[in-house]
A and B are shown apart, each in its own frame.
Chain A
């Protein structure tokens, strides 16, 4: 069964600090992996997408890494801001263009002043 596991479940950090969120998956075959940011009361918004051949991708202060051999991904947030407080969801697609995505449960990040 395809699964996506995220850790930690929740995280509290001080404003300005860095943090790293983890995602392990067992989805096969693998096509791509996305990290979504979901603000409270809003729908998820895509931050990055990574395919099999990509090891790292950045989007501003967000940097995602992918190790397709170990089936692990991480999302690193640099110099956190209060607005980074949200749930971060790892989503894996088994087939290119597939509508059936496997979602992780998310990591709830709280950035405090």
Chain B
């Protein structure tokens, strides 16, 4: 059984370029989450989806960041006009039941390491 996968695993880009990070959740999982993790820190919530609907984007740092999940499965996190401070590990997670209750374990992907030069 495949877990959460993310691509690319590593991305190096120049300041000002746009980047798109992809997340493939576990098949059938209702909820999908995006986190950003700085070195030596725990993950920081960015946004999440139930099916294709973006439920909360309060963690997105600014309007250069956006995410979509058009068919309720694969999700893309896009960062426009990247800046050096955007450099971090971007992690995706998915959970089976959505956020209505229960233990609702989140399964994490390996992350995309973004470096903005």
Contacts and interface: CB of A to CB of B under 8 A. Distances in A.
A42 interface: yes
**Interface size for chain A: under 10, 10 to 19, 20 to 34, or 35 or more residues?**
20 to 34
A44 B107 CA distance: 8
Interface residues of B, number: 30
Interface stretch (B11-19, B37-45, B69-77): B37-45
Nearest to B98: A97
A49 B42 contact: no
B102 A43 contact: no
Contacts of B109: 43
B100 interface: yes
Q: Main SS of the interface on chain B?
A: loop
Contacts of B40: 105
A99 B99 contact: yes
A101 B108 CA distance: 13
Contacts of A44: 108
Given A43-B4, A49-B105, A100 B111 contact: no
Contact of B45 (A32, A51, A96, A101): A101
21 contacts: A4-B42, A32-B103, A34-B105, A42-B110, A43-B3, A43-B4, A43-B93, A46-B105, A46-B107, A49-B103, A51-B103, A96-B101, A96-B103, A97-B99, A99-B33, A99-B55, A99-B95, A100-B45, A102-B42, A105-B40, A105-B42
Interface of A: 4, 32, 34, 36, 41-46, 49, 51, 89, 91, 96-106
